[in-house]
Amino acid sequence: MKQFFEGSHAVAETIRLCKPGVISAYPITPQTHIVEDLAKIVADGRLNSQFVNVESEHSAASVVLGGVAAGVRSYTATSSQGLLLMAEVIFNIAGMRLPLVLTCANRSVSAPINIWNDQQDSVSLRDAGWIQLYAENIQEAVDFHIIGYRIAEDKSMMLPVMVCMDGFILTHGIETVDMPTQEQVDKFLPPYKALYKLDVDDPVTLGALVDPESYMETRFAIHKTHEEALSLIPKIAADFSKSFGRTYNGLIEKYRLDDADRVIVAMGSVCGTIKDVIDELRSKGKKVGLLKVTSYRPFPAAAICDALKDVSKVAVLEKALSLGALMPLATEIKSAFFGRKKSPKVISSFVAGLGGRDITKQSVKDVFRLLTAKELDGEFIDLKPELLKENYE
Amino acid sequence: MSDMHFNSGHTACSGCGQSLGARLVLEAAGKNTIIANNTGCLEVFSTKYPQSSWGVPWIHSLFENAAAVASGIESALKYLGKKDSVNVIAQAGDGGTADIGLQALSGMLERGHDILYVCYDNEAYMNTGIQRSGLTPFDSNTTTSPPGSHSMGNIRPKKPMPEIALAHGIPYVATASVAFVKDLQRKVKKAISIKGPKYIQIHVPCPLGWRHQPNLTVPVSRAAIECGLYPIIEYEFGKLIAVQRIRQKPVEEYLKLQGRFKHLMKNPDEIKKIQDIADNNIEKYGLRLESQ
């Protein structure tokens, strides 16, 4: 049934439908509405779950680690500094092959402290072994959590999934959402049956010390699983489409790409703005398009190359950066094309929207305007040069 | 896997007090136990892949989060309706308890989880090479509190962990020693019979770090207790219900057994300071045998 939902409320209701037995979280803006709603849902008896209020995000991640290690589906959510405080546990959860789902309400990182949206938090944890899915709108945020549990708990995966949704823009925005029914979710997402768990009737040792004889294979195995996820994610997404009637590829989405000669590549909610601009420019005869990257990890290099191989000019627009280096998503797209026969003539890289600065339709038009034969590396959009003047005298 | 819950064949040093303590704890807790273990000697020497000493379900995640991981396990068991038949133990060394793991431990105690937390106190970071922790005793020589022309060793007395645990209003707090096996195991059994968070701190000598002969592990721990430096105490629901009373011996009898205090042996002023710590303990907890 279609209803107006605040993004956080919609995600909380979705998690209720996924029936985690252990939920643990520590409050951080803009994640708070999700966990407040879940606390109330549990308090009202609408979900049978242990809601554990902890003293830090490090412990929130550790509690859900323990919950899923004991064989129970678990859930947590965080943002920004919270995700960074969890970082040690984030790596650990993937290394232990524990299938969690975590919502990252994307927010900038300190210093300076700033509570608004960008994607530096989750992008900085791209190498942790988690699958990362980026939602464009609230409907996707809802659907990706359900898909996320299916991916994570698939016996061939056993990897955690981070569903990334832009803070405030999606967590506090209100949209029409087709909220799945319990029957639909139950049919698509069977109860979690752990491949291994802490069970007194069948004792196992988890988290052993692994020396040089075996450590490398554990990392190789995660890497291999990510490769396999590139074919599994579209299959699960197709399965989802059958049950819920909404179609996702799960890795990428092509928007008006077919004859496009200039294309923006982006992740998350900015894709909605870009689509509007594309529609406008298309109505004026401009051949422009969007390639939305949904799955940042695993990185769908082949699918991206295939989608962009006939495009003349590509602009990679990011809400994250790698300070002191080329921009993260642009770097990976360029390296994916390296040595390929067919590739764009220009792959320019743009940074926008850091710390919650609005990426307006004009910002997106500026990206298209700057997407010329001259390749740009890390061009900042909407920068204010007047704020950069320094005087140490 | 043999019938033992904690099996031999691990790689602990000879005379390791912590391996002895862990075996005694698990023997008392029994097979229906799940353990969450912080990083440290115990984790390293008992689980070198592909071997494991543990005959019960056991998990290690990180240095500081066993109390939080155990909280998640306990919550999962509650969700499954199995908590009443399974004990959950979180365990760590002194650094993992009093320093890096203190926040997670405090959270676990405050939230009221039905978990027994065991601190194996060997009074320094032994796994990384004998660096001082918050539970390293006053004047102790460790690799990061070395005595020198400007220092007599560790500058502060032990952090009062049992009192810190007690301040959370939890139903059971006790200290124990590997030198007093029956007392230790009685306390473990009693702790797991009580619902809620429990804290037991066990004195476990480390021959390598304390620099004593491996065959002196038990006598060294006994000497610590007999001089008053390691009070054996037991609190139930906030009340001190039992202490191990002693015929007090001078602290020097304990200090001289160990290389970590060797630099004090010709310094009566420093020994006097340590004697004062022991005397205060004896007063505070009423450790003196009345016949004395």
Distance, CA of B292 to CA of B283 (rounded, Å)? 14
Contact A62 B52 (CB under 8 A): no
**A370 touches A311 (CB < 8 A):** no
Chain B CB contacts of A205 under 8 Å are 47, 52, 54, 57-59
> What is the Cα Rg of chain A in Å?
21
Last residue of a domain, one of A191, A213, A244: A244
Last residue of a domain, one of A244, A261, A295: A244
CATH value at residue A236: 3.40.50.970
Q: Which of A48, A88, A200 sits opposite B62 (nearest CB)?
A: A88
Distance, CA of A131 to CA of A149 (rounded, Å)? 11
In Å, how far from its chain's centre is CA A169?
14
Q: Chain B: residue nearest A218 by CA?
A: B49
CATH value at residue A297: 3.40.50.920
Last residue of a domain, one of A225, A244, A263: A244
pLDDT per residue, tens digit, chain B (292 aa), is 445 799 999 999 999 999 999 999 999 999 999 999 999 999 999 999 999 999 999 999 999 999 999 999 999 999 999 999 999 999 999 999 999 999 999 999 999 999 999 999 999 999 999 999 999 999 999 999 999 999 999 999 999 999 999 999 999 999 999 999 999 999 999 999 999 999 999 999 999 999 999 999 999 999 999 999 999 999 999 999 999 999 999 999 999 999 999 999 999 999 999 999 999 999 999 999 976 4
Q: What pLDDT score does B1 carry?
A: 41
Q: What pLDDT score does B44 carry?
A: 97
In Å, how far from its chain's centre is CA B14?
18
Q: Coil, strand, or helix at residue A30? A: coil
Say if A208 is an interface residue toward chain B (CB within 8 Å): yes
Asked whether the predicted pLDDT for residue A393 surpasses 90, the reply is no
Domain shared by A232 and A333, yes or no: no
Q: What is the pLDDT of residues A124-177, one digit of tens each?
A: 999 999 999 999 999 999 999 999 999 999 999 999 999 999 999 999 999 999
Domain shared by A256 and A239, yes or no: no
β-strand A205-206 against B58-60: which pairing, if any? parallel
Domain shared by A67 and A191, yes or no: yes
**A39 touches A11 (CB < 8 A):** no
Q: What pLDDT score does A1 carry?
A: 82
Statement: the pTM of the whole predicted model exceeds 0.80: yes
State phi, psi for A29 to the nearest 5 degrees: -65, 135
Domain ranges across chain B: 17-285
Asked whether the predicted pLDDT for residue A291 surpasses 70, the reply is yes
> What is the Cα Rg of chain B in Å?
18
Domain shared by A44 and A191, yes or no: yes
- Has residue A393 been placed in a domain? no
Residues 6+ apart with CB under 8 A from A71: A192, A194, A197, A198, A199, B76, B80
Q: What is the pLDDT of residues A252-288, one digit of tens each?
A: 999 999 999 999 999 999 999 999 999 999 999 999 9
Q: Which of B44, B57, B69 sits opposite A204 (nearest CB)?
A: B57
Q: Which CATH superfamily is domain B17-285 in?
A: Thiamin diphosphate (ThDP)-binding fold, Pyr/PP domains (3.40.50.970)
Residue with tokens 């307006």: A360
Hey, what are A272's tokens?
């909605």
Distance, CA of A326 to CA of B254 (rounded, Å)? 62
- Has residue A343 been placed in a domain? yes
Q: What is the pLDDT of residues A111-139, one digit of tens each?
A: 999 999 999 999 999 999 999 999 999 99
Average pLDDT, chain A: 97
Chain A CB contacts of B37 under 8 Å are 207
Task: Please state the domain count of chain A.
Answer: 2
Domain that holds residue A357: 252-388
Looking at this predicted complex, what is its ipTM? 0.97
- Has residue A111 been placed in a domain? yes
For chains A and B, CB pairs below 8 A equal: 161
